[in-house]
Chains A and B, each alone.
Chain A
Amino acid sequence: MSGVNLHGIWAIYRTEMARSIRTVWQSVATPVITTALYFIVFGGAIGSRMSHVGGVGYGAFIVPGLIMLSLLTQSISNASIGIYFPKFTGTMFEILSAPLNAVEAVVGYVGAAATKSVVIGLIILATATFFTDVRILHPVWMVAFLLLTSLTFSLFGFLIGIWAKNFEQLAIIPSLVITPLTFLGGAFYSIDMLPQPWRTVSLFNPVVYLVSGFRWSFYGLGDVGVGASLAFTAGFMALCLIALAWIFRTGWRLKP
């Protein structure tokens, strides 16, 4: 037999999706409740006293940032747990002994994690429409950013899952790096609102580019150019792919 092990990819994808469906209520309820809370606090209580940002009401302004916040954390946690779990239970031997190459394994695991993130992103978007008036100027770009971000950060999560030796390490990157960067990355404000030098400092925060590009697809306004957003996301994805290729070639943290 030659070609691609489609049955293998499908087996991983289906099993990973089944794992999410087993916990479907946590998977869906958490983002819906969290989003609702953000809208009540930021959109309703604080937003009503805030002026419009770039001609968009504050409630609507934070929608892309909120979705991005969930996309990043969900993609990372889904993908990292997906590959950490077999390491933890010892079932990794089966994946390693299977006639499956690195690309096929990654497509299965990362594909499933990204699918779940996209679904959650869309659920948050749907929840947001109950609280505020959401317009989407560039729907194709919106979907493109949604997919690209989910895939990229699922790849990143996959790397974390391989790197992590315990559950603490699994949680440390999302909580100590991603969440702060997202809060400081313009999810709830435009970086134009910041005084110098913080505005310039913010340009070194990768999440700024993600949020900005995504917000541009909604309202046509962004802190940085949409090209820069795309280039950044694609570049980060390339970095993750290079790291993964190296891991699978050397067996780092996978094989003694």
Chain B
Amino acid sequence: MPAILSIEALGKQYKSGHKALEGVDLSIERGEIFALLGPNGAGKTTLISIICGTVTRTAGTISVAGHDIDHARREARQRIGLVPQEIALDMFSTVLNTVRFSRGLFGKAPDPAYIEEILRDLSLWDKRNARIMELSGGMKRRVMIAKALSHEPELLFLDEPTAGVDVNLRRDMWALVRKLRERGMTIILTTHYIEEAEEMADRVGVINGGRLLLVEDKDALMRKMGKRQLTLTLQAPLATIPDELAEWSLVLAEDGLRLIYSFDAQAEDTGMPALLHRMSELGIAYRDLDTSRSTLEDIFVNLVEKAA
């Protein structure tokens, strides 16, 4: 079976000469959640918009489930649902009518039972006859999702699904995404909240300056690039780091009260037990110890800075 989405050598250059995307290759497997990470203006939304047909591209090919988006437009487009970043709705329409409209637009026969199911899933059924303008911001966002799901797509794009959304709604959104995945939906989301990608994604792509810098399995990325840190709070301050501890390249902080040891999380020998052993030999006592693992955010910042 072909990949649900396959992109080759995609490029977008605006008339002004600005290159929004350059040489993007990407293949998405069925059923995965893929997070596209990048700072503002990196090209995330442009990439999604080109796949969905709302922005023209200047180079490359795209196919959805093996259907070229130019030559088999209908077959490709029908499989895609898009939830854009901005809420854009006909404020005078009712919830039910606007969702029905979307289903029809994508060429599907009416299916009241299915529409009821998605509206119930999104806690919108009670509001089905309300006009959009009467709804809260969170509800409007859910209407956008209901519209995108109305034609039973196989591939769902969520462009910054939780930008400007409160904590509870963000948790709800994550739960919804997981539920959709359980049903076999493939989801591509863009975000600049690393927490979101870390929480949900199977794979992560980092985009900056219109180029896809890396595509990796999230856990592998965390293992590969993640650093761990051991922080020791000492009982008595040290003036300098003793020469006997030089091989660990420690950092002394907070007036000599804190020793920080950074090490590679995936190394066979972390050097941590040996360090603690040597310290007790030297008689350096500590009150507390703490270890931390770098987040996707640290990795991301690191990558973007390196590329810059």
Interface presence of B171 (CB below 8 A)? no
Residues A95 and B105 in contact in the complex (CB < 8 Å), given A18-B97, A90-B88: yes
Q: With both chains docked as a complex, state the minimum distance between the C-beta of B224 and any C-beta of chain A, in angstroms.
A: 36
Size bin of chain B's contact surface:
35 or more
**B114 CB contacts on chain A under 8 angstroms:** none
A101 to B77, CA, bound (A): 11
List 18 additional A-B contacts (Cβ < 8 Å) besides A1-B75, A7-B104, A15-B93: A1-B78, A7-B105, A8-B105, A8-B107, A10-B104, A12-B105, A14-B101, A15-B101, A85-B90, A91-B88, A93-B84, A94-B102, A97-B82, A98-B105, A99-B76, A255-B54, A256-B55, A256-B56
A2 B74 Cβ-Cβ under 8 A: yes
Residues of chain A touching chain B, judged by Cβ–Cβ distance below 8 Å, are 1-2, 5, 7-8, 10-12, 14-15, 18-19, 22, 85, 89-101, 251, 255-256
A89 B88 Cβ-Cβ under 8 A: yes
Residues A99 and B82 in contact in the complex (CB < 8 Å), given A5-B74, A18-B97, A22-B92: no
Interface membership of chain B positions 156-168, coded 1 if the CB is closer than 8 angstroms to chain A and 0 otherwise: 0000000000000
A97 B91 Cβ-Cβ under 8 A: no
A251 to B106, CA, bound (A): 20
Interface presence of B73 (CB below 8 A)? yes
A256 B14 Cβ-Cβ under 8 A: yes
Residues of chain B touching chain A, judged by Cβ–Cβ distance below 8 Å, are 14, 49, 52-56, 73-78, 80, 82, 84, 86, 88-93, 97, 100-109, 147
A88 to B228, CA, bound (A): 50
Q: With both chains docked as a complex, state the minimum distance between the C-beta of B115 and any C-beta of chain A, in angstroms.
A: 13
A100 B105 Cβ-Cβ under 8 A: yes
Residues A99 and B73 in contact in the complex (CB < 8 Å), given A89-B89, A91-B90: yes
A94 B147 Cβ-Cβ under 8 A: yes
**B89 CB contacts on chain A under 8 angstroms:** 89, 91
A100 to B102, CA, bound (A): 12
B55 A89 Cβ-Cβ under 8 A: no
Most buried by B among A1, A19, A91, A92: A91
